Amino acid sequence: MTGINKPIALCFAAIVGASSAVAEDLPKDPVAIKNGASGLCLDISQESQAEGAGIVQSECKDGDSRLWRIEQTDNGYRIVNKNSSLCLDVRGGSRANGTPTIQATCNDTVDQLWRIAPSSSGNSLANVKSNLCLNVPNSVRRPGIAIVQWPCRTSAGQSWSW
């Protein structure tokens, strides 16, 4: 294993191994999912209920577009928005770094499945298809910033709590 691939493999192994331990700690009701770096919450752009609407960060205040159900499946976790009943997805099923996340009709594809790995500062959320983590670009603390997928690393921009 090369020096470059080893950290990625270790991150992936930690995420895969941790998913089963997370299930018993999952909330039963919809929750706000808050980023460790920005202190802002996952939201749907303009509180849209439309298929393909972008996922952004916003102030953590009341509103169903900021609430999510985390549902366990056989192959990961599905994250469903309370306002739209649509699932957290990666635009176009891409595996590319920096691809924005969207909401889409829930289905059984790996584009919509996530692995949850607990850490001391929250949880990382890695897409099952791409093995990339849900990320606030450059840990920017500004509402409206698009949430993207990025290589997993231990950074507050990839730390999420509920």
Domain CATH code at residue 138: 2.80.10.50
What pLDDT is recorded for position 23? Answer: 54
Residue 55 is part of which domain span?
Answer: 5-161
* pLDDT level of residue 99 (50, 70, 90 thresholds): very high
CA quadruple 144, 150, 153, 159: dihedral sign: positive
Mean residue pLDDT across the chain: 89
Write the pLDDT tens digit of every residue in 66-98. 999 999 999 999 999 999 999 999 999 999 999
Number of domains in the chain: 1
Residue type, 162: W
- pLDDT of 119: 78
How high is the pLDDT of residue 160?
97
